Structure 1
Amino acid sequence: MLRLRPYRKSDAEYIVTWIKDEVTFRKWSAYRFDSYPITGEDVNKLYDNYALLYDFIPMTAFDDDKPSGHLFMRFTDSDKKELRFGFVIVDNAKRGMGYGKELLTLSLQYAFELLMAQKVTLGVFENNRPAYCCYRSVGFKDTGERENYHILQEDWKCLELEISR
C-alpha cells in the first residue's frame, strides 16, 4: 500500500535510478533538463528554482519506507483552483503493477480534499501510451489540446488531460 508524503531532497537519488534511458527521461521531463543522464543534485537544483517561481508542491509515494513514485503539483492560477501535475514517475521495477494508478489516486485526493483544487491538468506525450492509459484509468479526460515538441530529433505531440472535482 502506498502512502503520500512531501518530497525530501534524498528522494532524488531514488528517482534518477528509475530512468534507464534517454527516451524515458524525455517522456518524463521533456526539455526541463539540458542533458541526460541527470543526478539527484540536478533534480534538487531544478526544484529549488521551481519553488522560487511557482506555488510548488513536490510529493513522494512510498511503501515500506522506500520511495516508489513521485510527482509534483503546482497551482496555475492565482485563485488556487487549478493544479498541474508534472514529473509523474513510478519506480521502473514496479511499473505495470498498479503503483501509477495508486500514486495518482492519492495525489488527486490530496489535490481535491486538502488543497481544495477544482481541476487538475497534466500533459503526456502521445508516444507514452502506458502513462496515457494510466491517467485515463483514474478519470483524466483528453481536452483535445495538443502541443508540439521537438525532442531527440523527432516531433512529439503532448496531449493535454484534465480532471475536475
Structure 2
Amino acid sequence: MLRLRPYRKSDAEYIVTWIKDEVTFRKWSADRFDSYPITAEDVNKLYDNYALLYDFIPMTAFDDDKPSGHLFMRFTDSDKKELRFGFVIVDNAKRGMGYGKELLTLSLQYAFELLMAQKVTLGVFENNRPAYCCYRSVGFEDTGERENYHILQEDWKCLELEISR
C-alpha cells in the first residue's frame, strides 16, 4: 500500500535511478532539463527554481519507507482552482503492478480534498501509451488539445488530459 508525503531532497537519489534511458527521460521531463543523464542535484536545483516561480508542491509516494513514485503539483491559476501534475514517475521495477494508478489516485484525492482543486490537468506524449492508459484508468479525459515538441530529432505530440471534481 502506497502512502503520499511531501518530497524530500533525498528522494531525488531514487528518482534518477528509475530513468534508464534517454527516451524514458524525455517522456518524463520533455525539455525541462538541458541534458541527459541528470543527477539528484539537477532535480533539486530545478525544483528550487520552480518553488520560486510557482505554487509548487512536489510529492513522493512510498511503501516500506522507500520512495516508489513521485510527481509534482502546481496551481496554474491565482484562484487555486486548477492544478497541474508533472514529472509523474514510478520506480521502473514496480511498473505494471498498479503503483502508477495508486500514486495518481492518492494524488487526486490530495488535490481535490485537501487542496480543494476543481480540476487537475497533465500532459502525456502520445508515444507513452502505458502512461496514457494509466491516466485514463483513473478518470482523466483527453481534451483534444495537442502541443508539439521536437525531442531527440523527432516531432512528439503532447496530449492534454484533465479530470474535474
Which whole-Å deviations, capped at 9, do the CAs of 1:95-144 have from their partners, x for residues lacking one?
00000000000000000000000000000000000000000000000000
The root-mean-square deviation of aligned C-alpha atoms, in Å, is: 0.1
Give the percent of matched residue pairs that are identical in Structure 1 and Structure 2.
98
TM-score normalised according to structure 2 size: 1.00
Q: Please state if 1:162 is matched with 2:162.
A: yes
Superposition pairs for residues 9-48 of structure 1, below 5 Å?
A: 9-48=9-48
CA distances 1:50-91 after superposition (whole Å, capped 9, x unpaired) = 000000000000000000000000000000000000000000
Aligned residues: 165
Runs of at least 5 residues in structure 2 that lack an aligned partner in the other structure: none
In the TM superposition, what whole-angstrom CA distance separates every residue of 1:25-72 from its partner, at most 9, and x where no partner exists? 000000000000000000000000000000000000000000000000
- Name structure 1 gaps, 5 residues minimum: none
Partner residue, 1:102: 102
| Shift of residue 23, structure 1, vs aligned partner | 0.1
- 1:148 and 2:148 are equivalent in the alignment: yes
Cα offset for 1:162?
A: 0.0
- Looking at structure 1, the residues matched to 135 and 26 of structure 2 have their Cα atoms a distance apart, in angstroms, of 18
Tell me the residue number matched to 1:64. Answer: 64
Deviation of 1:21 after TM superposition, in Å, equals: 0.0
State the SS of the aligned residue for 1:109: helix
Rounded to whole Å, the distance in 2 between the matches of 1:9 and 1:147 is 31
Distance in 2 (CA, whole Å) between partners of 1:62 and 1:15 is: 12
